[in-house]
Structure 1
Amino acid sequence: MSKQELEVIGQDAGCCQGVASAPLDDERAAELAKVFKALGDPVRLRLLSMIASRDGGEVCVCEMTPAFELSQPTISHHLKLLRQAGLIDCERRGTWVYYRVLPGALARLAAFLTTPETAGATT
C-alpha cells in the first residue's frame, strides 16, 4: 500500500482532529471523502464488517464471495476500493487472498466523528 493511500485515512500529523475541532480544509475533506465514499456502498460496508468481526482478524476472499449474489470479480473490485481507501490490506497465500482491517483505521474514523459532550446538552 502506498503512503498516499495510507494518508487517506489520516495517518498524517492531523489525524487526531475531530469533526468538531475545526473546519476541514479542502485537502483533508477530499481525503476523508474517499474513505466515506468507499463506505457508502452497502456491499463494501458488509465486506468491511465481515473482515472486522472475524475471529483471528482476517478472512479469505473464498469465504466472503458466497455471502453475496455477485461475481467474484465484482467482490474483488469492492475489496480493492476498500484497500485504496486505506481501510483494509491483504496477503496472497497460494491461490487465495486473505484480508484484514488495517490497525487503527476504524479507530481513527471513530475519533474523527466523535464530538465532545457539551455541558447541559440534551439528547
Structure 2
Amino acid sequence: MTAAAAALVAGGVFTVTGVAAQDAAAAQPAAGTTFWAKVAANGNLLAASGIGNVNKFGQGRYNLTTDADISRCALTGAINTNGGSDPGPGSASILVGAVDARTLFVRTATPSGPSPRSVDDDRPFSLLIAC
C-alpha cells in the first residue's frame, strides 16, 4: 500500500505537492551556484554562465535574463574592459538590481564625463551572481 493510500485508510491527512511546487523548487539555484557574464558596452554578451540574454534598451541601460530564480542571490557588477579597448579615463559607476526573479537591470555611467554621459553611458561590464 502506498503512503497516500495508507494515510487515507487511516483517516489521516495526505497533501499532494503537485508539479508546480516541484517546478518552483527546480528553478531555485542550488546553494553555492554562481552565474556570471561579460558584456560589451553595446550590449553584446561576450561570455556567460547562467545568463542567456542581454537587452540593451537605452544609453547605459541593460536587462539581463538568467536561467534560474536569483531573488535570494547576491548581485555584484564592475565596469571593465572585458578584453576590449580601454573605455577611457575618469570614474565609472554601475548599478545592478533585480527587476524580477529572473531579470537583472544594469545601469552604467561615467560621473566624471561631460553631460549627458554623466548620467548614463555605455560601458563594458562584468556581473557575478552568487547564490
TM bucket normalised to smaller: under 0.3
Q: Which has the higher contact order (CA 8 A, sep 6+)?
A: 1
TM-score, structure 1 as length reference: 0.23
- The structure carrying a bigger helix percent of its residues is 1
- The structure carrying a bigger strand percent of its residues is 2
